[in-house]
Amino acid sequence: MVRSADEANVFPDVKVASIQMAPRIGDKAANLQQSIDLIEEAARQGAVVAVLPELANTGYVFASRQEAFALAESVPDGESSRAWLDVARRCNIHVVAGIAERVGDRLFNAALIAGPKGYIGTYRKLHLWGDEHLFFESGDLGLPVFHTELGRLGVVICYDGWFPEVYRLLAMQGADIVCMPTNWVPMPGQASGQMAMANTLAMANAHANGLNIICADRVGIERGQPFIGQSLIVNEQGWPIAGPASKDGEEILYAAINLRKSRSARHLNAFNCVLRDRRDDVYDPMLGTGWPLPRY
C-alpha cells in the first residue's frame, strides 16, 4: 500500500551509515581524524546515523594493560569524545563510536553515543572476547535504550552479538535500531566462501526481534591479528539491506530505515507477533533482570 504524503512526513526514512575503516594501533590522532573525515562524508550523503568500529580511535590489539590504559580516555570529556561530539553537532548526525574508556583505574570497551544536541550516553561492552579480559572490566551499565528524535537506539559491541538475550532485552525495551561497533575476527571452522558467522547471527537476531542492526567492522591485520570486514546493515525482517562490505577494504555502507515499517514488522502475519507470542508462563519475559515489563 502506498503511504500518503502526510504519513510519509510523519514517518520519514532514516538514512544510516556503517563505516568500515582500518585503525592503526596506538595512532589516535590519525585514527580520530580519519573517523571524522568519514563521518563528514556520510553526512554529506544524507546519513543521520553513523556507526564506527569497536575501539575506532586506538586500535584493538594492545600489547599490555599499560598500553591500553595510556590510550584510553574519559567519556564524554576526553579528546576523542569531544571531537566526535563536535562533528555530530556540525554535521547534524548521530554518531556511535567505539572507544577505550578510562574510569579511575578501570578500563571499559565502550561506545560513545553522540547527537546533534550533544552527548546522549555511553554503552560498555558486556561480553569480553579473548585477551580483552586482560585489559577491560565487563560492562556495568546494562543494556540502555537511548531515546532520540530519530527513534530508540540500542548499542552492542562485537561479541555481545553472540548472545540472543541481548537483542531480546533491547527489543523488549522498544529499541528500533541497534548499532554495533565491532572488530570481527575469523571464527574457527569457518569454511571459505561461507557467510561470516557474525553476519548470520545479526540476521537471525534481527528477524527474531524485529530490529534493524547496523554492524560496523574494521579491516586490516594488527600485530598478527586479521580482521574480516564484511560490515552489514540488516533490516527488521533479518534481510541485508546494505553489504556485506568487502573483507579488506575501507568503505561506507548506506541504507534507509523506516520506523513505522520496522515496528509493524514484529507482526509476522495476522496471528503472530514475535514479542507478543513469547510464552511468559514458561520463561521470564525480562530474562530474570528484574526490569519492569515495557508498555507498548
User: CA-CA distance, 98 to 119, in Å (whole number)?
Assistant: 14
Active site residue 247: no
CA 268 to mean position of chain CA atoms: 25
Task: Give me the count of residues in the chain.
Answer: 296
- Whether residue 225 contacts residue 55, with contact meaning beta carbons closer than 8 Å, is answered with no
CA geometry: angle 96, 127, 281, nearest 5 deg = 100
Between the alpha carbon of residue 177 and those of residues 29, 252, 263, the distances in Å are 30, 18, 10
Which H/E stretch holds residue 66?
helix 65-71
Active site residue 273: no
Active site residue 125: yes
Q: Which of 158, 179, 215, 222 is catalytic?
A: 158
- Whether residue 219 contacts residue 248, with contact meaning beta carbons closer than 8 Å, is answered with yes
To the nearest 10°, report the CA torsion of 19, 156, 190, 233. -40
- Whether residue 95 contacts residue 112, with contact meaning beta carbons closer than 8 Å, is answered with yes
Q: Which of 15, 28, 54, 179 is catalytic?
A: 54
Q: Which of 15, 28, 91, 125 is catalytic?
A: 125
Catalytic machinery residues: 54, 125, 158
